[in-house]
Amino acid sequence: MRFTKLRALLLAPVLVLLMAAAPALVNPPPITVPAGLSEQMVAKAIRVGVAQRGWVLTRQDPGYVEATLHLRTHMARIGITFDTQSISIKYLESENLDYEVKKGVERIHRNYQKWISNVVQDINVQLQVAVAEL
């Protein structure tokens, strides 16, 4: 019993450090755009999709937008390239999200990946809405 308690006390700090490590930053795979949508329809799906989660478009060019999320003390900025075939989302920068590169691997706070998954899901929903309106 003594050894079990001692082992638990020794392992606790190691487990805390492992849990605190930021996961790898992974840009999502490209989103396939349904056939028949124009570039303007795709752009609208992106605008509406990101806005639903509080992201604000900070740059808009043909085939490219940047969106920024300010949440409490955190900031994340993504670049979204698109055409009538696919949409790609890429991490650009952040503040207070523990972004770092360790041994060649980009790492970021776990919430960032959740936020991006939500953006992908919302854009997909808006693409389906656009198809339904054809």
End-to-end CA distance of the chain: 69
Q: Residue 107 in contact with residue 26, Cβ under 8 Å? A: no
pLDDT band at 17 (very low <50, low <70, confident <90, very high): very low
pLDDT score recorded for residue 1: 53
pLDDT tens-digit series, residues 35-86 = 999 999 999 999 999 999 999 999 999 999 999 999 999 999 999 999 999 9
Domains of the chain: 2-132 (3.30.310.80)
Query: Taking the complete model, does pTM exceed 0.95, yes or no?
Result: no
Q: Which residue has the tokens 């509080």?
A: 54
Residue 65's DSSP bridge partners are 60, 80
